[in-house]
Amino acid sequence: MSEASDWQTLLDPFAWVVYELGDRVPAKTVAAALRGMLRSRSDDEIRSIVAACKEPTETNCWWAIYQAAQLLPRAAEQVLRDRGWGAADEGGR
């Protein structure tokens, strides 16, 4: 069994939320749950998570990681904006 890459390790907790909530709740609820998870992370951690979101494809990971990677950049941008920062992919202040 191969070891998970760094981006998979970063995205895995978020993927489990996507998996658990799945089709049982609206997409807005999933996004809110991901934002809640991001709020407990530092700005640098959030930027690392956003960078990791560029790695998954439809064929190189679990579907829930791929789906989380689609949702997380916007959620991260909202969290950082709430903190008074710019977009997640900017260098910050």
What pLDDT shows up at residue 89? 47
The string of pLDDT tens digits covering residues 14-72 is 999 999 998 899 989 999 999 999 999 999 999 999 999 999 999 999 999 999 999 99
How many Å apart are CA 24 and CA 19, to the nearest integer? 10
pLDDT reading at 86 higher than 90: no
How many Å apart are CA 50 and CA 47, to the nearest integer? 5
DSSP 57: -
Q: Which amino acid is at 73?
A: P
How many Å apart are CA 24 and CA 30, to the nearest integer? 10
Of all residues in the chain, what percent are helix, strand and coil, respectively (each to 5)?
A: 65, 0, 35
